[in-house]
Amino acid sequence: MDRVIKKAKALKGEITPPPDKSISHRAVMFASLAKGDSRIKNFLWAKDPISTINAMKSLGVEIDITDSKEIIVHGKGLYSLKEPDNVIDCGNSGTTIRLLSGIAAGQRFLTVLTGDDSLRYRPMKRIISPLSLMGANIIGRDENRFPPIVIKGGFLRGITYEMPIASAQVKSSILLAALYAKDETTLIQPHKSRDHTERMLKNIGVHININGNTITIYPPKSDLNCFEITIPNDFSSASFFIAGACIVPNSEVLIKNVNLNNTRTGFLEILKKMGANIEVLNITEQAGEPVGDIFVKSSPKLKGITVQGDMIPKLIDEFPVLCVVATQSEGKTIIRDAKDLRVKESDRIKAMTSELRKMGATLEEFEDGVEIEGPCTLIGTEVYSYQDHRIAMALSIAGLIAEGETTIKNAECVDISFPNFYDLLEILQK
């Protein structure tokens, strides 16, 4: 499906973004390992989290869905999973395959994990290496680089592991495996990444200590607690509308009930440093996460800045739309230390460089980032999504300020995380 985006005069109104994707994945997995019935409300009904539901069902977990689309997971404990009778298809979801690898590493049976064309070229050695050190028997395609992954787990030992990259998926995979280890596991992160896993593990009764970038987890001595959770709304999904309201003239947008976890909101920090007109309101707590409303107005005096180091893990999903904002900012915006973006759903550095150049932007591409000169006038043209949901949505925001019409090729990939993205975009356009 292609999508045509026309230049907007303004974005105005109030929206609620979809539920948090990261927490949706984890809620289903942790409920599956807990003892008793867990209830999950405000789940993200998008392709990636649905892959996680199907994967846990393949492992023998009973999952019911109510008429109101709540999920009831009938967990039977850490050691209740069963050997799947087929290969588990993780779809496009890197979270599913990496976190599930950690769970499978603790099982005394065979699990085979694969995914779609994109996922089968996502790097897996970053989880295979530490899980192998813990005692799991894991092999992957092309010398352990890619899926499919074959896992024969069980009899794990705790390790001390210094992570070469800051990755919430890698960290979570190891922490899940550590639930099955005979002694504690310590992880040392180079920078702090998303901490939803640590928060949820604490909430279900796991003993976990956090000291700066060091995490120590102790194997549970009893069953994990079942729970009820109402998932907050996704900051990464909200970021596209935050960016749009900043760069489309005469805009005023209120985005409701957004997860404001400080390991996720680097994009807000960067935009404020660039001069964005953003206000955070009505901060409360939901499911152990800070939540609030974000009010954004047009910001015509944005300035380019340098983004690097420990800020990168806090805005890893927002890189594509940050590139769009940078095209409208005075001076140079430099983004470095982001090499891991080359192995996401697409090579996001290459994708944004290529497609924004088509629209008339001035960019220099580095191995680990980009330099963008602004402000510039974007010209509507045909651009490609690379079957990457965040590339498609970022280019759609670029289309709102481009002269003429912008056609997003294969725009249906937004269904991976944000099925009603284009509906909300139309609601706000004036």
The two structure tokens encoding residue 119: 């996922």
d(CA 96, CA 355): 29
Domain 21-230 falls under CATH 3.65.10.10? yes
Give the residue among 329, 352, 23 at the shortest CA–CA distance from 198: 23
> Per-residue DSSP letters for 251-317?
-EEEEEEEE--TTTTHHHHHHHHHT-EEEEEEEEEETTEEEEEEEEE--TT-B--EE-GGGGGGGTT
Catalytic residue among 48, 89, 195, 317: 317
Which residues have CB under 8 Å from 143's CB, separation 6+? Answer: none
State the architecture of 3-19+232-428 in CATH terms.
Alpha-beta prism (3.65)
Given this model, what pLDDT does residue 154 score?
84
Q: What secondary structure does DSSP assign to 322-347, as a single string?
A: HHHHHTTSBEEEEE-S-GGGGGSSS-
Domain ranges of the chain: 3-19+232-428, 21-230
pTM, two decimals, is: 0.96
How high is the pLDDT of residue 430? Answer: 76
Residue reference for tokens 């900051």: 235
Q: Is-same-fold flag (3-19+232-428; 21-230)?
A: yes
Q: Is-catalytic flag, 183? A: no
Which tens digits make up the pLDDT trace of 315-335?
Answer: 999 999 999 999 999 999 999
**Of 280, 239, 234, 241, nearest in space to 258 by CA:** 234
- Cβ-in-10-Å burial (0-12, 13-18, 19+) of 164 comes to exposed
What string of pLDDT tens digits covers the 430 residues of the chain? 999 999 999 999 999 999 999 999 999 999 999 999 999 999 999 999 999 999 999 999 999 999 999 999 999 999 999 999 999 999 999 999 999 999 999 999 999 999 999 999 999 999 999 999 999 999 999 999 999 999 998 899 999 999 999 999 999 999 999 999 999 999 999 999 999 999 999 999 999 999 999 999 999 999 999 999 999 999 999 999 999 999 999 999 999 999 999 999 999 999 999 999 999 999 999 999 999 999 999 999 999 999 999 999 999 999 999 999 999 999 999 999 999 999 999 999 999 999 999 999 999 999 999 999 999 999 999 999 999 999 999 999 999 999 999 999 999 999 999 999 999 999 999 7
DSSP annotation of 370 reads: E
